[in-house]
Amino acid sequence: MNIFVRAALLFAALGLSGATYAESSPSFKVISPIFDQLVAFSMPTNFVAAFENTRGTHYIREAVLKGETTEHWTQMITVTGEKGLSNTPAATPEKFAGGMAAGFKRACPDNFAAKGLGETKFGTVSGFVAVVGCGKVGDHSETALIAVMKGSADFYTIQWAERGAPVNQPPVEDPRWTERLRALQPIVLCTIVPGETAPYPSCIGKSS
C-alpha cells in the first residue's frame, strides 16, 4: 500500500478525518461512485486498477503501471474517500493535505520535503494540491502529487506517487508534478443519479 494512503487513513482516524511515464500517454475517463458522489478523472492508459477496498468510512483504490503490482511498483495512482468528513467544521482540504504530510514526515524526518501548490477549485469544488516526499524510506525514495477535494459530504483524494532510488531530497520541485496534475484533469465530483449505472452518462463530459 502507498505510504501516502496510510498517512491519509491515519489522519482521518484522528478525527480530521521508476518506470518512465510518457506525459503524452493517452488516457481514459474513470467515473466511480464513492460514498455520496461520483468521482471522475482522467487515467493514463498505461495504468491498471490493482486493489480496491471499503472499510467503514474509508475507501481506497490503487492503480499501478501495467506489469507491476501493489507490492512492487514504480508509479501508483490512488483514489481515497473519507465518508462524512465534509461535515466536520475544522476539516479543510489544506489541513487534510497537511495531516498526510505530517504523517509522512514522521517516516523520514531527515530527508522529507513538501511543496504546497495551493488552494484550487476542481469545477465548483474546493481543493488543495501539494507534492510531498521522502528522499529515503526503506530502500527507495517516494514522492507524490496529492489533490484533496471537499465534496458535499465526503473528502476525496487523488494521488500520483512515484518510487525511485534513494536521494538526499525528494524532487518536489520537479515540473512533472504539475504536468501530471494536468494529465489527471478534468477532476470532477458529480451527483449520483438514483438508478443510474456505469458508464454514468450524467457525469460524462462534465468539467465542473
pLDDT digits (tens, 9 = 90+) for 110-127: 999 999 999 999 989 999
Q: Return the SS3 of 125.
A: strand
pLDDT confidence bin for 10, thresholds 50/70/90: very low
Q: Which region holds residue 105: left if phi is over 0, alpha if psi is between -120 and 50, else beta?
A: alpha
pLDDT digits (tens, 9 = 90+) for 97-113: 999 999 889 999 999 99
Give CA–CA dist 201/91, Å, rounded: 31
- pLDDT computed for residue 208 by the predictor: 59
Give, in words, the CATH class of 3-191.
Answer: alpha beta
Res. 72: pLDDT tops 70: yes
Q: Return the SS3 of 22.
A: coil
Residue where the block lists cell 460524462: 204
